[in-house]
């Protein structure tokens, strides 16, 4: 029994929507969960749904099957149905939250609800901020549609000269959303209320100021968004560098095939038809009627209101072994250090790099980068290290989906500052989170589960291990040597490395638990993952369950394993935790006959991670840290506030509390580390 990955992922996104529906969640955080849901859904459509559509057009004998045994043609209507259901729930939830906001004196108003003072403000705002960014495009039935990018929102404008709407004129306006021109604008309001308006509606208010040169009696605007196939393809011209191919591929992606047009259902048929026909989209094949507003991921950036309506921020805790204004390298030289972001501050990692950048005895820094922040402090520190005469080598993965353009920019910047940049291994995506700092007298390694990104580290719950263990440091050196020289044989003594050993190592660990269960020894497998879809590992876990191994899995996203099936997975339980922080850390714990083994890794249990990516995992060798990792899992397993039981596929039932006391694991973990800080 293997559940389909795409349907399972959509079920995960429904768990995000549940947070927006949960009245115990602070009101403005509920609104931001809607933004997260919308962003997730858009990316799914551009990547996963686009792939299903593409494969559905192949001849039956050439089309691969998806997890669960579906063909693309069988899967497509099921996915479309679930996407539509999600959008309907989104709209209903949004309306409910707006009503609750009004109870709190917060109103999202449109251009028809403004008083004179607010209209004057909006017109002034339009002329000063919005108007300079607008480029209206006139569209005609006989001319080609101007190019429209996805990730943007547009107004489709209709102008008519009489009530019979004869000889209408059509136009398109891209709605600008920038740091200087945000999606939401706070209006002058009375003391009793706070009014917010979409910039979309400020443009609607000022349509006459945009199209004053045309003769019309009626003018109206209807929002739409376009989504294109996000597949990135590179040509095979050997005369071009990878950067050149990437830049061309990104340009080609901009012009990807339109796959979905989401439009205001109030849009007149003639206006919709001219846009759809020029984009070669038909009803039933990518046209979705929606509400007045689109690209609702911008809800994540809704203006902050009263603190009582926001989630309470948790201040990052200090690690008990790292003192302020002291050498972090000296601490790591004496003992391993385990960090759990965002409970611990990501500044420790930045301090590690900064100290290495200026330490006279440090000779080289090696690092793998997948996603970095805008105006990245990590990038700046690596540049400073190079300026200080260190050898700095950066494996920068260009194929980090939707971050490719930024990574190309960073690649050029690093190389211009004297940093050696390599772009991975042919045929493999480098997704590992690995750093090696080599000092004259000692070397240090960092192995993590999350990106070296100071922005996302405030929201993503991830693990990181600092160590100077000689075997791990040697393994890190071997891995970087392999990345620089992919033709070389690679062999590690401690670190797990995919696509070479990690799959086999996990399979052997599971098989050992099966043997131990059969011989009456303690046998369990505990794992925390973002995604579990690899069919071979799932079948092996089913085998372990039938042998009596106790299997507990915390899977945030898609899970193709079906727990609690008679004679197959009765000893497997799976939960999923959705809360304020994005659960991104990966770990695996094995009973090992009573001598537990624990690992953290950058890889999920997906075929692509285990077979087609460079991923790194590390055993937790320090007994105290191993206990911490096990404690972390047990705390999260006890969650009965934000955990969902995945026993029934597609139904996000919350874990029952029973007689247990309430446990919200993210708060419990904060208190756990807070106590550790004081001790």
pLDDT in tens, 652-676: 999 998 888 999 999 999 999 999 8
Boundary-marking domain end, from 61, 81, 97: 97
Rounded Cα distance between 56 and 66, Å, is: 11
In a domain, 317, yes or no: no
Element (H, E) at 363: strand 362-369
425 in Cβ contact with 419 (< 8 Å): no
The β-bridge relationship of strands 106-109 and 194-198 is parallel
Please check whether residues 479 and 386 belong to one and the same domain: yes
Boundary-marking domain end, from 46, 71, 97: 97
pLDDT in tens, 406-425: 888 889 999 999 999 998 78
More confident residue, 447 or 326: 447
Q: Is the pLDDT of residue 549 over 90?
A: yes
In a domain, 465, yes or no: yes
* 239: confidence class by pLDDT, cuts 50, 70, 90: very low
pLDDT in tens, 102-134: 999 999 999 999 999 999 999 999 999 999 999
Question: Who's near 100: CB < 8 A, 6+ residues apart?
Answer: 23, 27
Element (H, E) at 502: helix 502-518
Rounded Cα distance between 73 and 57, Å, is: 8
In a domain, 320, yes or no: no
pLDDT number for residue 592: 96
pLDDT number for residue 582: 95
- The residues that are catalytic are 431
* 164: confidence class by pLDDT, cuts 50, 70, 90: low
* 57: confidence class by pLDDT, cuts 50, 70, 90: confident
pLDDT number for residue 246: 47
For the record, the structure tokens of 450 come out as 């999350």
43 in Cβ contact with 118 (< 8 Å): no
How many domains does the chain divide into? 4
Please check whether residues 92 and 213 belong to one and the same domain: no
pLDDT in tens, 13-56: 999 999 999 999 999 999 999 999 999 999 998 888 888 888 88
CATH of the domain at 22: 1.20.58.310
Please check whether residues 233 and 122 belong to one and the same domain: yes
Please check whether residues 515 and 627 belong to one and the same domain: yes
Please check whether residues 458 and 530 belong to one and the same domain: no
In a domain, 318, yes or no: no
Nearest to 596 by CA among 654, 545, 521, 668: 521
Sign of CA dihedral 12, 16, 19, 20: negative
Q: Is the pLDDT of residue 338 over 80?
A: yes
In a domain, 602, yes or no: yes
CATH of the domain at 121: 3.30.1840.10
pLDDT in tens, 189-205: 988 899 999 999 999 99
Please check whether residues 566 and 666 belong to one and the same domain: yes
In a domain, 460, yes or no: yes
Please check whether residues 540 and 399 belong to one and the same domain: no
The pLDDT of 609-614, averaged and rounded, is 94
Domain range for residue 483? 338-490
Indicate the range of 329-343, 436-450, 488-502 predicted with least confidence: 488-502
* 237: confidence class by pLDDT, cuts 50, 70, 90: very low
In a domain, 324, yes or no: no
Boundary-marking domain end, from 461, 490, 519: 490
CATH of the domain at 458: 3.30.870.10
pLDDT number for residue 423: 86
Please check whether residues 412 and 536 belong to one and the same domain: no
Nearest to 156 by CA among 94, 200, 212, 214: 200
Please check whether residues 401 and 514 belong to one and the same domain: no
């Amino acid at each position: 029994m293997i559940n389909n990955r795409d349907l399972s992922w959509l079920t995960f996104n429904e768990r995000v929507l549940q947070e927006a529906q949960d009245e115990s969640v602070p009101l403005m955080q509920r609104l931001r969960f809607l933004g997260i849901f919308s962003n997730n859904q858009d990316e799914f459509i551009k990547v996963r749904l686009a792939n299903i559509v593409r494969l559905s057009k192949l001849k039956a004998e050439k089309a691969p099957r998806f997890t669960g045994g579906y063909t693309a043609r069988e899967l497509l209507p099921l996915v479309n149905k679930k996407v539509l259901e999600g959008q309907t729930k989104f709209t209903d939830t949004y309306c409910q939250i707006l009503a609750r906001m009004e109870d709190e004196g917060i109103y999202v108003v449109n251009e028809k609800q403004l008083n004179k003072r607010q209209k004057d403000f909006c017109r002034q705002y339009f002329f000063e901020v919005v108007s300079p960014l607008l480029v209206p495009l006139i569209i005609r039935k006989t001319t080609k549609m101007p190019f429209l990018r996805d990730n943007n929102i547009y107004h489709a404008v209709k102008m008519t000269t009489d009530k019979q709407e004869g000889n209408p004129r059509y136009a398109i306006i891209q709605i600008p959303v920038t740091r200087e021109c945000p999606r939401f604008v706070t209006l002058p309001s009375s003391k009793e209320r706070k009014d917010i308006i979409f910039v979309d509606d400020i443009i609607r208010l000022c349509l006459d100021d945009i199209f004053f040169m045309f003769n019309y009696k009626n003018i109206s605007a209807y929002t739409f968004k376009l989504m294109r196939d996000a597949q990135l393809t590179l040509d095979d011209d050997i005369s071009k560098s990878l950067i050149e191919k990437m830049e061309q591929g990104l340009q080609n992606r901009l012009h990807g095939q339109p796959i979905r047009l989401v439009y205001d259902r109030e849009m007149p048929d003639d206006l919709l038809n001219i846009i759809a026909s020029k984009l070669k989209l038909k009803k039933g094949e990518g046209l979705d009627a929606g509400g007045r507003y689109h690209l609702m991921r911008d809800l994540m950036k809704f203006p902050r209101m009263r603190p009582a309506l926001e989630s309470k921020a948790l201040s990052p805790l200090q690690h008990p072994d790292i003192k302020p204004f002291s050498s972090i390298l000296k601490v790591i030289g004496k003992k391993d250090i385990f960090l759990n972001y965002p409970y611990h501050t990501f500044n420790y990692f930045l301090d590690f790099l900064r100290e290495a950048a200026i330490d006279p005895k440090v000779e080289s820094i090696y690092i793998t980068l997948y996603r970095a922040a805008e105006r990245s402090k990590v990038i700046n520190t690596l540049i400073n290290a190079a300026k200080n005469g260190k050898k700095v080598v950066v494996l920068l993965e260009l194929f980090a989906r939707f971050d490719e353009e930024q990574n190309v920019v960073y690649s050029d910047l690093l190389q211009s500052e004297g940093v050696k940049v390599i772009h991975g291994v042919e045929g493999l995506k480098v997704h590992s989170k690995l750093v090696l700092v080599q000092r004259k007298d000692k070397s240090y390694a960092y192995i993590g589960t999350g990106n070296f990104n100071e922005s996302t580290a405030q929201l993503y719950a991830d693990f990181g291990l600092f160590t100077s263990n000689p075997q791990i440091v040697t393994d890190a050196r071997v891995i970087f040597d392999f990345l620089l020289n992919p033709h070389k044989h690679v062999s590690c003594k401690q670190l797990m490395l995919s696509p070479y050993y990690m799959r086999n190592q996990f399979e052997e660990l599971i098989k050992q638990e099966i043997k131990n269960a059969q011989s009456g020894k303690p046998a369990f497998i505990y794992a925390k993952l973002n995604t579990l879809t690899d069919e071979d590992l799932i079948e092996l876990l089913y085998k372990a369950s039938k042998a009596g191994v106790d299997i507990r899995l915390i899977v945030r996203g898609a899970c193709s394993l079906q727990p609690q099936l008679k004679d197959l997975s009765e000893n497997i339980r799976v939960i999923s935790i959705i809360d304020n922080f994005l659960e991104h850390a990966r770990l695996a714990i094995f009973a090992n006959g009573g001598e537990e083994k624990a690992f953290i890794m950058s890889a999920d249990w997906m075929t692509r991670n285990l077979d087609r990516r460079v991923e790194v995992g590390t055993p937790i060798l320090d007994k105290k840290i191993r206990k911490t990792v096990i404690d972390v899992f047990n705390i999260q397993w006890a969650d009965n506030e934000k955990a969902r039981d995945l026993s029934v596929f597609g139904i996000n039932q919350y874990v029952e509390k029973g007689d247990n006391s309430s446990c919200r694991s993210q708060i419990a973990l904060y208190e756990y580390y807070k106590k550790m800080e004081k001790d």
